[in-house]
Amino acid sequence: MIELVTGGARSGKSRYAQVAARAACSTPLYVATARARDDDALLQRIRLHQQERGQEWKLVEEPMYLSRIMPGLSREGGVVIDCLTLWLSNWLCCGDRAGWASERREFLERLAETDAPIWLVSNETGMGVVPDNQLARDFVDESGHLHQDIASLADRVVLIMFGIPHLLKG
C-alpha cells in the first residue's frame, strides 16, 4: 500500500501520515530526509517532530538515496518518508542533476516493487506563482513531475488542507 500525502506547509501532512502508520504497525519506521546543518529553526522543527513521534518509532536519516532503503522495508511495518520535497531540494542544491535523474528513477522502480505499507509526505508546490529564478522553477517542475509519477503508482493520494484530509485517489 502506497499513499502519497501532500499539502501546503504546516497543513498537517506529517501528523496524518504518522497516525496512519502507527495504526498499521506497533513499531513504524520514520525516514527523515531533512539536513539540519546550521539552521536553528529547522533543528527546532526536527526536535518537535521527534517528540511528537515518541520512542516507539525507528528512525533512518537519509537525505539523498531513498532507493537504498527500499529493499529492506517489511510488509509488516509501517513506513513514513518525510519529506520528498526536502529530498528533491537536497539533490538540486548539490548540483548533481544526472545523479538526481538516476536516483529518482531507481526510487520509483523500487517503490513500485515494495510490499511495505508506505506513506510518502511531500509539499504541494505547484499552486503558487511561477518563481522568478531558475533554481526555484526547476524545483517546481521537478516536484510536479515527481508527484505525478508517485501518484500514478500510489494506491491512495490525500491532500491535507488546514489539517483536513481530502481523498484524491483510492
- The catalytic site residues sit at 49
- Residue 157 dihedral angles phi and psi, to the nearest 5°: -130, 125
Query: Angle, nearest 10°, between helix axes 134-153 and 84-94?
Result: 140
Answer left, alpha or beta for residue 52, where phi above 0 means left and psi between -120 and 50 means alpha: alpha
Report residue 105 as a C-alpha cell.
528513477
End-to-end CA distance of the chain: 11
* Phi and psi at residue 90, to the nearest 5°: -60, -45
